[in-house]
A and B are shown apart, each in its own frame.
Chain A
Amino acid sequence: MKPIFWKELADHFGSWRFFVFMIVILLASVSTTYTASETILGNAETTDDIFVLIFSTSGEGLPTFIWFIALLGPFLGIIFGFDVINGERTRGTLSRMLSQPVYRDSVINAKFLAGLTAVGVILAGIILISCGLGLFTLGITPDVGEIMRILIFFLLCLLYVGFWLGLGILCSVFFRQAMVSVLVSIAIWIFFMSFMSMIAGVVADQVYPVDRYSGEQAVLDHNELNRQINLISPVHLFEESSDTILTPEKHSLDELRQLLSYLKGEMIPGSVSVRQSLILIWPHIVSLIALTSICFAASYIRFMREEIRAT
């Protein structure tokens, strides 16, 4: 498995995709963190944990850092995964490779790990650069809790991109042509990115119809169902969990419920511990891992018994 991993990694680092994506993501992240820090400086009355807010605050006209990763993460994963198997097939190297004493599952594993490492380098790079920029513009240093939060956020990003990488590899196993593979992956991405929330909205409206005479409970139920359906989508899993870990004041996943409890005076606004935030997002982490495992299982089942012809 090691030789495949190192070869793939070397290929990634030398490829144009790696270079182009590094630059695109770098530009996006630097500009979002910069405008975010401007906003944070603008309303300085916020709590102790200011530093992590550079990732979860939106600035003037620019969305949050989390949003950018939610948008570009799938691209990253798909770009590094969509042609790993069918590319070898087209070049005629697959049958040469598989006639060597290597297990087929280790081919998939090595390629996945190599892709994840390449993506991890990009993500770690931009998160560190953003932190550096935050240090510079905000002029404060993160405390241990905040560093923990940023680390967890990094792992969430990896998990999220890992899912899309797994999906890309799955498509590359199923579709002979790289073009079909990339189109199918992107179709799935668009579905999760935009259609999922529309479907969730429609279903929630049907089950718990809400108008301006509705009671508090109906609104909360409507909101909750909408959120639950959205959570099937890895995009929402990532957005919600990242937002929770990077917004220390968030102590409920349901923002409406949290706001209500403030208004009613049941709770006083304030930060929760890293542990509490982690408990909140634990189901998200498990779901992301489960979704990735489904992609893997399907790839294995298809690839293991497949006949490898040199065409």
Chain B
Amino acid sequence: MPNPLVETVDLTKAYGPNVVVDHINLCIDEGEIFGFLGPNGAGKTTTILMLLGLAEPTSGEARIGGYVTNIHPMEVKRMTGYLPENVGFYDDMSPVENLAYITRLNGISDREAKPKIDEVLVTVGLDHVANVKVGTFSKGMKQRLGIADVLVKDPRLVILDEPTTGIDPAGVSQILDLITVMAADRQITVLLCSHLLHHVQKVSDRVGIISRGKMIAQGTIDELSTQLTDGTQQVDLEEIYMKSFSEGIA
């Protein structure tokens, strides 16, 4: 069995007495799309930050491609593309310039970067506005530019934090298609974080549900229904997910 690309061992983050991420054991294999589901404030983003070495775990550890993330953050960041929830771009620069900056930060020479930038802009359908200032873009366009932004560095793993929030239905299906395409054509592993079950369900191979910092269930969608009901009855995933919401509130 191949080693998992992303693995966390009892990953925990506490702010004082407030435990936000509680002994999460996550396992994502190379090439799959993993849906990370949970209500707002469940600890999804904090988990991601620890995966990227942008936050320090209180205990436990996270490994990406065999590297412990807070000890070797550079190696991890080199192979990982991260699209934060509210991604920002330099408004006074064009998409090409914004992406060129990212390739330079990744140590890719300008000559190598040029065709790559053109290619990813075609992939996300922004080639017609390649030289327009980003300040004029809509939220949907910025989100697609964000996907171009993570693809341009040729990552092995892409982490998308709520990529479909605040986007209109057409934009959502565009983004979900892009996610499927990047996994199929480029063999990129995708960690898709969202609180929207339907979006996650549509594209994910496997799903993990997190609530109040704890991983409630992990597996394929079929596995989940059996896992959560001891195989006694078939239940709708939605029901389970809603239940995790109400628990979160209570």
Contacts and interface: CB of A to CB of B under 8 A. Distances in A.
Interface in A78-116: 91-103
B62 to A, nearest CB: 14
A121 interface: no
Contact of A92 (B55, B75, B87, B105): B87
Interface string A281-311: 0000000000000000000000001011111
Nearest to A91: B88
Nearest to A104: B73
Most buried by B among A4, A307, A310: A310
A309 B104 contact: no
A309 B91 CA distance: 20
A97 B101 CA distance: 9
Nearest to A308: B54
A305 B54 contact: no
A241 B159 CA distance: 54
Contacts of B101: 3, 7
B149 interface: yes
A111 B156 CA distance: 30
A104 to B, nearest CB: 9
- Please classify the interface of chain A as helix (H, G, I), strand (E, B), loop, or mixed, using the class held by over half of its residues: loop
Interface in B55-84: 55-56, 74-75, 77-78, 80-82, 84
A310 B85 contact: yes
Most buried by A among B54, B74, B104: B54
Contacts of B85: 310
Interface residues of A, number: 23
A101 B52 CA distance: 10
A95 B83 CA distance: 9
Given A307-B49, A309-B49, A93 B89 contact: yes
Nearest to B153: A100
Nearest to B79: A101
A11 to B, nearest CB: 8
A205 to B, nearest CB: 49
B220 interface: no
B118 to A, nearest CB: 19
Contacts of B107: 101
Contacts of A95: 54, 82, 84
Contact of B77 (A100, A307, A309): A100
A103 B105 CA distance: 10
A91 B105 CA distance: 18
Contacts of A102: 105
Contact of B88 (A92, A100, A309): A92
A311 B74 CA distance: 23
Contacts of B87: 92, 96, 310
A95 B49 CA distance: 10
B54 A98 contact: yes
B10 to A, nearest CB: 20
A98 B52 CA distance: 9
A305 B86 contact: no
Given A99-B80, A100-B102, A101-B77, A93 B54 contact: no
Contacts of B227: none
B89 A100 contact: no
A95 to B, nearest CB: 5
Contact of B149 (A4, A96, A308, A309): A96
11 contacts: A91-B89, A91-B91, A92-B89, A94-B88, A96-B82, A99-B77, A101-B75, A101-B107, A305-B56, A308-B54, A310-B87
Interface of A: 2-4, 7, 91-103, 305, 307-311
